[in-house]
Amino acid sequence: MRMDYQLLIGGTLVPGASTLEVVNPATGRVFAQAPRADEAQAEQAIAAARRAFPVWAALGYAERGAFLERLAAAIEVRAEDFARILTLEQGKPLDQARGEVAASVSAFAYYAQQQLEPRVLRETAQERIVEQRYPLGVVAAITPWNYPLLLLAVKMAPALVTGNVLIAKPAPSTPLATLLLGEVAASVLPAGVFQTLTDANDLGALLSRHPGVAHVSFTGSTPTGRKVLASAADTLKRFTLELGGNDAALVLDDADIATIAPHIYSGATTNSGQVCLAIKRVYVPRGKVDALCDALAELARAAVIGDGMVQGTTIGPIQNRTQFEKVQAYIAEAREQGTIVAGGAPVPGEGFFIAPTIVRDLPDDARLVREEQFGPVLPVQAYDDLDAAVAQVNASEYGLAASIWTGDAERGLAVASRVECGTVWVNRHLDLPWDVPFGGAKQSGIGRQQGVEGMEDFTQPRIVNMALV
Ligand code: ADP
């Protein structure tokens, strides 16, 4: 594996002040060194971003869009390098890593075509009132380790097209895809428009506090999101927080189990369950529990668990040791409190592997049901009364997303309308088109990404109120 990753600061690729070790979760061993930026480099990046901002902001949407299109094309040229790096640092199977790269390219290509138009609020012979949207300035994108490239792309593309400049700060355990994006962007974007800083969990707070940063776009855990909110308070920074979730799938009594089981299984185990929007609990009418558990168990037993670089792997490792140990602890507790119908046993090998695990008959207050466990583990909970099941779905500090499974979409809509979440899917889960806004209710987040709202989050409204006499 190459060892020459560099930071992109002020248009130049530079070494870090020190280094970070990057572990391959499929082996548990260090496979690469990444640069680690220090505070002085963070200050340099913020200063360079501030210099670049007025020039970038003064370009029109069409010109900025053309840069994004060139960037999308440049990523595509390196697509296989990006995919391999994602598999090595994150663990996901190579074909899923290729999917992440393709989705990231499509985000840049999509936003390259978008723009926010001024809105006319009132127009008469005497007056005209319009709302314009102008960019905020320097955006810090602080990202987690589950989708290192995609979660950066969904911030970077709308932030840049609306005229902001952006500093990316990836999670310390998955810095390489972001660094490679810096390398690719260095020859495409003007100096300072996009920069990369990698850290050991110390620069996120600096960026969130810094008066030179106008907006923090954060995706990560709810406890860290609270810290970002606190750090941003002093300067009244704008922010977008995409935080944790404990998404429920609610199966209605008219659902066809054989049809829905594969969708529920993939909604729970994609990326080894390390998705803020993964299905993390299922509520099923009591009479259908056996059928759903049998179908899910069959899918779980067919999983091919292993190194994502090996052709045919369907479930890669958990991304890091801390998370691996956490998921194991949830499974150990679930074994005491309920019945494991598939998985649960340790997977041989050095990597951080967890087999897809289906659990039934847990008490509703079990930690696996109540907390965000972020692994390929799914508790199946029986219900007798739909109102009580809806209450269970809503009995969470989180409110990211949920899904309703039914043979009757109208009935699905009626139940969806009672669920306290940012997104409720009916007969699907994890569908996130670029033109549809997405974000959390309750403690799952503040603000929206994607859609027009997601672009607006990176701008400030300005009302221009004109008397025409
Ligand atoms: P996890 O707990 O799942 O490892 P976090 O939500 O803490 O992940 O991390 C998400 C991102 O937030 C990472 O890039 C991490 O470095 C960053 N981060 C960690 N602590 C802070 C902080 N106090 N302020 C801002 N960002 C932080």
In this structure, the answer to whether residues 198 and 147 fall within a common structural domain is yes
CATH number of 174's domain: 3.40.605.10
Please check whether residues 168 and 301 belong to one and the same domain. no
- The two beta strands, 377-383 and 441-442, are unpaired
Same domain, 359 and 422: yes
* pLDDT tens track for 35-85: 999 999 999 999 999 999 999 999 999 999 999 999 999 999 999 999 999
Centre of ligand 1 to C-alpha 345, Å, is: 30
Do 49 and 163 contact (CB within 8 A), yes or no? no
State yes or no: is 336 an active-site residue: no
Residue-wise pLDDT for 258-303, tens only, equals: 999 999 999 999 999 999 999 999 999 999 999 999 999 999 999 9
* 200: containing domain: 7-243+444-467
Judgement on whether residues 90 and 165 belong to the same structural domain of the protein: yes
* One domain for residues 198 and 273: no
Q: What is the dihedral of CA 163, 167, 173, 175, to 10 degrees?
A: 80
Indicate if 228 and 306 belong to the same structural domain.
no
> Which residue owns the Cα nearest ligand 1 atom 14?
171
| 277 and 186 within one domain | no
Neighbours of 43 (CB within 10 A): 13
Query: Are 239 and 253 members of one domain?
Result: no
Atom of ligand 1 minimally distant from the CA of 231: 24
Kindly state whether residue 460 falls inside one of the protein's structural domains.
yes
User: How many Cβ atoms are within 10 Å of 120's Cβ, its own excluded?
Assistant: 10
CA distance 265 to 262: 5
- Note whether 18 and 45 are same-domain residues: yes
* Distinct helix (H) and strand (E) counts, the chain: 15, 22
**8 Å CB contact between 110 and 434:** yes
Give yes or no: residues 197 and 298 share one domain: no
Could you give the C-alpha distances from 297 to 181, 269, 285, 303, 436, in angstroms and in order? 39, 12, 18, 10, 33
Which residues neighbour 167 within 8 Å (Cβ) at sequence distance 6 or greater?
A: 45, 46, 49, 138, 139, 140, 141, 194, 195, 196, 197, 207, 213
Question: Which ipTM did the prediction report?
Answer: 0.98
**Residue 438 belongs to a domain:** no
* One domain for residues 383 and 399: yes
Mutate to test the pocket of ligand 1, among 224, 272, 372, 373 (most ligand atoms within 8 A of CB): 224
For residue 183, give the nearest of 2, 450, 449 by alpha carbon: 2
In this structure, the answer to whether residues 263 and 279 fall within a common structural domain is: yes
pLDDT tens-digit map of 72-128:
999 999 999 999 999 999 999 999 999 999 999 999 999 999 999 999 999 999 999
For the chain, what is the domain count? 2
Torsion of CA 179, 183, 185, 191, to 10 degrees: 100
**What is the distance of C-alpha 101 from the center of its chain?**
14
Residue 439 belongs to some domain of the structure: no
